[in-house]
Amino acid sequence: MRWTQYFINTLREVPADADVISQKLMMRASMIRKVAAGIYTYLPLGLRSIKKLEAIVREEMNRAGSVELSMPAIQPAELWIQSGRWQKYGKELLRIKDRHERDFVFGPTHEEVITETVRDAINSYRQLPVNLYQIQTKFRDEVRPRFGLMRGREFIMKDAYSFHTTRESLDETYQAMRDAYTRIFHRCGLDHVPVEADTGNIGGSASHEFMVLAQSGEDAVVSCPSCRYGANIEKATSKFFDDAPEPAPMIEMAPIHTPGTKTIDDVGRFLKRPTSELVKTLVFETENGPVMVLLRGDREGSEVKIKNHLGAQMLEMLGDAKFESMTGGPIGYCGPVGTKCTKVLADASLKGRANWVVGGNKRDTHIGGANPGRDFPAPEYGDFTTVFAGDPCPRCGNNLEIHRGIEVGHVFKLGTKYSEAMNCVFIDEKGERLPMIMGCYGLGIGRTVASAIEQSHDADGIIWPMPIAPFEVVVTSIGREESVVAMASDLYEKLKSAGIDVLFDDRDERPGVKFKDADLIGFPLRIAVGAKSLAQGQVEWSFRKDRAKQLGEPAAVLARVVDEVRKARG
C-alpha cells in the first residue's frame, strides 16, 4: 500500500476529550475517529489491527474446536422476556421499536439468541456438546463510555457459547477456552493474568477474567507473587480473617460517651485505640429491608460480596433521610445493640472476638463490652470485606499485591440459568428431559487492541507487537531523487511479494514529518532510503522499539527484515 493512496491523517495535537494513552494515540495515529460518545469509526489503520486480532482469535477458537456462526445484532424482545432479562438488564440494554411498534433490542450479548438456536436444533444427548462462536458488534448503553475502544457503547466482541450434557463436559470445554485465551493473549505479546472472578447471582459456577496489567485499568487485580493465586478484587479473599485473637473473658457492657466522633477514625482517636480493635457499622437498603453489616474498624466493606451473600437484586448505602427511622440510631453512632435492623451480618474477622466496641444508637454514644449472643442476636458471619495489599494469600499466606488491570476476556460457567429459563433441554440415555449445561466465553476485540497500546508505547507513539500491527514494515523514501524513489519502490514491491504487510511512505514530505508519523503509528520495522547512504550502496533500517539505526546493502536488509517479521509474527 502506498501512503499517498491510503487514508492516514495523523494529528499533532492530543484530542481534548481523550483520557487514556491508547485513546490519544489511536486518535492521533488516525486509527479511530469518534462519531458520538462511545461510538467510533475504525479508520483503515485501526481496522487493520482489529482484523489481525480477529484472525488470531479465529485461528485459536477453531483450533480449540469452537465453530463460527454469526447472529443478528437486532434481537426480538420476546427472547429477552423468555430469559427474564427484559426486566432485569436495566439501562445498558438499548431497546428499540420497529415500524409495527414491536420491541427489539440491539444485542449487548447473545445468550438468548444462541440458546434459542440450540434449543431448536438439538434434542438428543448424542448431538452434544456444541461450542459456537461469533465475532460481532455489540451495543451497551454504558453509563460512562470512555477510554476510547476500552469502554465503548458500540464495540466488537468475540463471544462463544457451549452446551453440554454433564458438568464434566463443560469443565473440559471451559479449560479448552481458557487455554485458547492464554494462547491468543500470548500471541499478541500481552502481559496478562487469568484471575478468579465474581459470578454474581448465578452462583455456584466458576468464572475467570483475563486481565492485562496496566495503570489505566479500571479493575483492581489481587495476586500472590509466591503462588499462582489471582482474583478480581470483587472476588478475592485473604487468610486474614482466620487469625482471630485468643478468646478474652467477657466484660460487662457499658455505654461510652464519645462526643463528636462521627467516623471510626474519630472514635479511635478519642478512645486512643487502633481502629482494628473497634467495630464499624454499615447499613444498606435492599429490596427486603435494611441490612446491617459489622466490620473490623480498619477494613472496607465489599458491596459485591454482601450482595451475593444476600442474593439481593438491589443493595445501596442507606441514605441520610431514612437512616434513623430504619435503624433506630443516628448516622455515625449506629450499632447492633437494640437496632431495628432485623438482618445483621458480621465479617468473619470479628468471629470469636469478645467485648466489641460498637455504636450505641444514641448521639455521642458508643458501647463497650458488647458481646454477640449475649447483648445482641448473634450475627451471620461471612467474608464481607475487600482485600488490602499486604493481606495474607488465602492459599499460601504470603503477602498479596494489588495491581490495576484491564479485563480483556471473561469465561463463565453459566450452568442452567438460560437453558432452564428458555426450556433448552435434551433427552438423555434414559429418555429423561434435562436442561443443557452452558458456558460462555467473551473477548473484547477493540479493548484488547487498545490494551496492547497501553502496555507498549513511548513518548512518540505506539510500539506495536508485530502480530497486530496495522503494517509490519514502513518503507520511507527521503528526498525526491529518482534513484531514491526507484530503490524505495523496489524494496516495497519485493517486501510485498514476500508476503510482508508493508506501507510505502511515498509522500512528498520532509523526512522529519515522515519519521514522526512512522513513530506515532508505530510500525515495528522501518526501512529508510536516502540519497546519501544510497550513494554508498546502502539503506538504513531500524526497529521501532529501540530505533537503533543499522545500515546495509539493500538485498541484505531486505532479507533481514523479512526474517525479523517472520520471527516476530508468532
Binding site for ligand ATP (CB under 6 A): 109, 140, 142, 151-152, 155, 157, 407-410, 442, 444, 446-447
Question: Quick one: 336 or 444, whose CB is closer to ligand ATP?
Answer: 444
In the bound state with ligand ATP, the residue whose beta carbon lies nearer, of 122 and 132, is 132
Least distance from ligand ATP to the Cβ atom of residue 149, Å? 6
Nearby residues of 117 by Cβ (< 8 Å), 6 or more positions away: 69, 71, 132
Residue 447 or 526 with smaller CB distance to ligand ATP: 447
**Distance from C-alpha of 557 to C-alpha of 278, rounded to nearest angstrom:** 70
Given the complex with ligand ATP, which of 219 and 380 has the nearer CB atom?
219
Pairing of strands 437-444, 401-415: antiparallel
**Minimum Å distance from CB 201 to ligand ATP?**
14
Q: DSSP states of 482-522 as a string?
A: HHHHHHHHHHHHHHHHTT--EEEE--S--HHHHHHHHHHHT
CB of 140 to ligand ATP, least distance (A): 5
Cβ proximity to ligand ATP, 69 vs 486, nearer residue:
69
Residues 493 and 523: their CA atoms lie apart, in Å, by: 17
Distance of closest approach, residue 168 Cβ to ligand ATP, in angstroms: 24
CB of 423: closest distance to ligand ATP in angstroms? 24
Minimum separation from the CB atom of position 142 to ligand ATP (A) = 5
- Give me the residues paired with residue 284 across strands: 291, 317
d(CA 402, CA 390): 9
For ligand ATP, which residue has the nearest CB? 444
Q: Is the CB of 366 or the CB of 447 nearer to ligand ATP?
A: 447
Q: Which is nearer to ligand ATP, 193 or 565 (CB)?
A: 193
Cα–Cα–Cα angle for 114, 118, 124, rounded to 5 degrees: 160
Distances from the Cα of 51 to the Cα of 35, 259, 402, 445, 503, angstroms:
20, 65, 33, 9, 17
What does DSSP say about strands 279-286 and 32-36: parallel, antiparallel, or unpaired? unpaired
Nearest distance in Å: CB 389, ligand ATP: 22
What is the number of residues in the chain?
570
The 8-class DSSP code of residue 344 comes to: E
CB of 160 to ligand ATP, least distance (A): 11
* Minimum CB distance to ligand ATP, residue 442 (Å): 3
Report the SS3 class of residue 45. Answer: helix
C-beta of 212 vs 469, nearer to ligand ATP: 212
Q: How far is the CB of 379 from ligand ATP (least distance, A)?
A: 31
CA nearest neighbour of 150 among 53, 18, 262:
18
Instruction: Give least dist CB 10 to ligand ATP, A.
Output: 24
Q: Which of 387/445 has CB closer to ligand ATP?
A: 445
Q: Which is nearer to ligand ATP, 31 or 282 (CB)?
A: 31
Closest CA to 526 of 455, 482, 459, 461: 461
Give least dist CB 455 to ligand ATP, A.
15
Q: Which three cell numbers stand for residue 421?
A: 429459563
- CA distances 89 to 86, 336, 385, 414, 452, Å, are 6, 35, 27, 17, 31
Would you tell me the crossing angle of helices 482-497 and 554-568 to the nearest 10 degrees?
40
The residue among 155 and 163 lying less far from ligand ATP, judged by its C-beta, is 155
For residues 40 and 34, the answer to whether their CB atoms sit within 8 Å is: yes
3-state secondary structure (DSSP) of residue 94: strand
Q: Which residues does 458 contact at the CB level (< 8 Å), separation at least 6? A: none
Nearest to 517 by CA among 500, 505, 534, 528: 505
Query: Are 464 and 456 spatial neighbours (Cβ–Cβ below 8 Å)?
Result: yes
Q: Which is nearer to ligand ATP, 370 or 440 (CB)?
A: 440
> Burial level of 537, CB count in 10 A (0-12/13-18/19+)?
exposed
Q: Are the C-beta atoms of 129 and 177 separated by less than 8 Å?
A: no
